[in-house]
Structure 1
Amino acid sequence: MTHSLARATVLCLFFSFILIFTASKSLAQEDLFESNEIIDIKMAFSIKDLRSTTNDSTFIDELVWVKSPDGEWEEMPIELRVRGNFRLSNCYYPPLRMKIKKKNREGTMFEENKSIKVVFPCSRSKTAESYLAKEFMAYQLFEEVSEYIFETRMMRVTFINEDKKGDEEVMLGFFLEDDDDVADRFDGEIVDDKRILGTLLEDLPAVRHDFFQMMIGNTDFSGLFKHNSKTLMLPEEKLVPLAYDFDMTGLVNPPYAQVSDLVDIENVTDRLYRGFCREKEVFYTVRDEFLQKEERIFEVVSNYEEYMTSSQYRESVRFLEDFFDILKNDRIFENQIVLACRNY
């Protein structure tokens, strides 16, 4: 009896250890984009130095600290550079690209992410975070209507500004999946070396993309010229669009929003359908899909109410309601979408 009890105790302890070890390992190795929990990140660098010494091919060595579940800051060496166009020139906080060497990301949530885009608020104003939250929300809305998306993860950043004598600022930001990682998820590749007409894209993914862009009031994209849109080639050479960069939209509507000279609207809050023409039944199929997801769309928006002022939240809801009003009215739907599609 004593021997059996001792043996049972040892086995119990052994399996308990295995379970604890497995749980700890799985927590440490959880993929960056598998959770919706906000990550706590700490970064310290000089924005001026980053702007002056980095570019599309030049990185500088920096550190990032990630808060562990037990509240400890864990240090990780990274490489950092600026990226982007408009926000790089017009925002206080430039958009960034972060690279992590394999040996530094092994066993961490970044293990599968060699390269990641980092998005900060544009300015230091009190309302800047709300615009960033609305842009992040737009990515979540896109996930509801398309399977071909860039994954994202919100973070709370403690930024030590070395240009301001080490002042600490706490702000929201988010990580954005790298192009190559998206392609790997779908066993495809990003087509960067060719201009591809929108009519060559798969019908349903393309029209879902175009409806979404109209829903959020986005005209600041071009698949042909690779502006805020990528083309993903799937197996069997099927082509689908990948949308990103949603700040210059009617839904977000930041103070710096501008309308392109190439479109015939005056404000980013003016909707314009920019999709290419397809068979009529494709438009009606996607219309039904969006209408079926209307309730879910507004549930997603409600999840981000805490990051907006009450007036911003009401404006976001109203802006999306206006889009669904278009879908629900046969005549307006025909005029503003079906007959408004592009032939070239």
Structure 2
Amino acid sequence: MRYFNLLFRSFSGLLLAILILLSFPAFAQGDLFDSDEIIDVKMQFSVKDIRKDTNDSTFVDEIIWLKDSEGNWEEIPVELRVRGNFRLTNCYYPPLRMKIKKKNREGTIFEENKSLKVVFPCSRAKNADSYVAKEFMAYQIFEEVSEYTFQTRMMRITFINEDDRKQEEIELLGFLLEDDDDVADRFDGEILEGKKILGSLMEPLPSVRHDYFQMLIGNTDFSSLFRHNSKILLLPEERLIPLAYDFDMTGLVNPPYAQVSNLVDIEKVTDRLYRGFCRERDVFDEVRTEFLEKEGRIMEIASDYESYLSPAEYRETSRFLGDFFDILRNDKAFENQIVSACRSY
């Protein structure tokens, strides 16, 4: 009898555990950025209408569908609007901001994400997804070299454009980008708005890591002073940290629409230029060592996205990243292209 009582209690415990597991949604709550697994999303709207009917303050009601781990499509009401500057004007698919009301995100992977940025391919070209993959790659590399970053999650988007007569489903690659307020909350800080702050006033080590990263990906299209593709995170004890985002106009991504600002002395985005402010020499040397130690991991991250690129694109991506580490390894090149090239104002 004692044996059967033990067996019954064991079976009851197992049954209870199974019932508890089954009571959870297929996507655990609040885990949007806790996984690297690509998520499947369906979206349907008119590209023309969303451009015409929305702006920085006006959203429209839409529906997205999220595929759970069991292959079921979950309907989620959302609000969408266009955002951005260059891509909004020059790309076929506009970048979007998505808001989700609390009652609609409860029990979903969006549990903790009221607002998110949505990145689409720029064009309808066959290779447009490869540029999205390379930009997403840049965010992953930044997470490897700095703790102060925006979190991202890649999406496979099944999209129906209501402007198309046939309204056929097409598959796009995209990703979600963490909201400004959410990244500030993660670090118990705030995003400074409306203030011009010189880069030289920011924390030395995080700033130089940021600046080396920008040179690594070949980015000159940013300015912390003028809040261009950069946010400033104010941490406790008045610590100022640069937060980088929007990496499409870089040598790493090198899209067909890439342009070089007339404020910098390079001819194309694949020409590297260090735009960081001058710091104590030991800071430059410390971050140099950090990056060289992480070279292998950074190249591994690039290889994670090889399947999204053509063989020629992947070779060029690997070569471009490798060239930066060649600069770091060469004392003369490091001195000339980084230490002596830093900005004093």
Tell me the TM-score range normalised by the shorter chain: over 0.9
TM-score, structure 2 as length reference = 0.97
Give yes or no for the alignment of 1:227 onto 2:221: no
Moved more, 10-19 or 262-271: 10-19
Residue 272 of structure 2 corresponds to: 271
Residue 121 of structure 2 corresponds to: 121
Give yes or no for the alignment of 1:38 onto 2:43: no
Give runs of ≥4 in structure 1 deviating > 4 Å. Answer: none
Moved more, 276-285 or 20-29: 20-29
C-alpha separation in 2, matches of 1:28 and 1:71 = 15
Q: How does 1:311-322 map to 2 (within 5 A)?
A: 311-322=312-323
Residue 154 of structure 1 corresponds to: 154
C-alpha separation in 2, matches of 1:19 and 1:36 = 26
C-alpha separation in 1, matches of 2:288 and 2:218 = 16
Residue 84 of structure 2 corresponds to: 84
1:18: Cα distance to partner?
3.1
Residue 98 of structure 1 corresponds to: 98
C-alpha separation in 1, matches of 2:284 and 2:28 = 44
1:155: Cα distance to partner?
0.6
What 5-or-longer segments of structure 1 have no aligned partner?
none
Residue 176 of structure 1 corresponds to: 177
SS for the counterpart of 2:218 is: coil
2:249–2:269 contact (8 Å) kept in structure 1: yes
SS for the counterpart of 1:251 is: coil
C-alpha separation in 2, matches of 1:299 and 1:24 = 38
2:30–2:112 contact (8 Å) kept in structure 1: no
1:25: Cα distance to partner?
2.2
Residue 199 of structure 1 corresponds to: 200
Give yes or no for the alignment of 1:340 onto 2:341: yes
1:30: Cα distance to partner?
4.6
Moved more, 160-169 or 260-269: 160-169
SS for the counterpart of 1:29 is: coil
Which one-letter code corresponds to 2:209 in the other structure? Answer: R
Which one-letter code corresponds to 2:250 in the other structure? Answer: T
2:96–2:117 contact (8 Å) kept in structure 1: yes
SS for the counterpart of 1:63 is: strand
Which one-letter code corresponds to 1:56 in the other structure? Answer: D
Provide the alpha-carbon RMSD of the alignment.
1.4
Residue 298 of structure 2 corresponds to: 297
Which one-letter code corresponds to 1:294 in the other structure? Answer: E
Cα offsets for 1:57-110 (capped at 9, x unmatched): 000000000001111111000000000000000000000000000000011110
Which one-letter code corresponds to 1:243 in the other structure? Answer: A
1:111: Cα distance to partner?
0.4
C-alpha separation in 2, matches of 1:323 and 1:28 = 40
SS for the counterpart of 1:163 is: coil
Pair 23,201 (structure 1): closer, same or farther in 2 beyond 3 Å: farther
Which one-letter code corresponds to 1:338 in the other structure? Answer: V
C-alpha separation in 1, matches of 2:15 and 2:194 = 53
C-alpha separation in 1, matches of 2:14 and 2:276 = 57
Residue 55 of structure 1 corresponds to: 55
SS for the counterpart of 2:108 is: coil
Percentage identity across paired residues of the two chains: 69
Residue 71 of structure 2 corresponds to: 71
Pair 254,289 (structure 1): closer, same or farther in 2 beyond 3 Å: same
C-alpha separation in 2, matches of 1:38 and 1:52 = 31
1:10: Cα distance to partner?
5.0
1:6: Cα distance to partner?
5.1
TM-score, structure 1 as length reference = 0.97
SS for the counterpart of 1:174 is: strand
C-alpha separation in 1, matches of 2:246 and 2:19 = 41
C-alpha separation in 2, matches of 1:23 and 1:193 = 48
What 5-or-longer segments of structure 2 have no aligned partner?
none
Residue 248 of structure 2 corresponds to: 247
Which one-letter code corresponds to 1:333 in the other structure? Answer: F
Residue 135 of structure 2 corresponds to: 135
Cα offsets for 1:187-229 (capped at 9, x unmatched): 1000112111101110000000000000000000000100000
SS for the counterpart of 2:262 is: coil
1:171: Cα distance to partner?
1.1
Pair 30,9 (structure 1): closer, same or farther in 2 beyond 3 Å: farther
C-alpha separation in 2, matches of 1:122 and 1:263 = 25
1:278: Cα distance to partner?
0.4
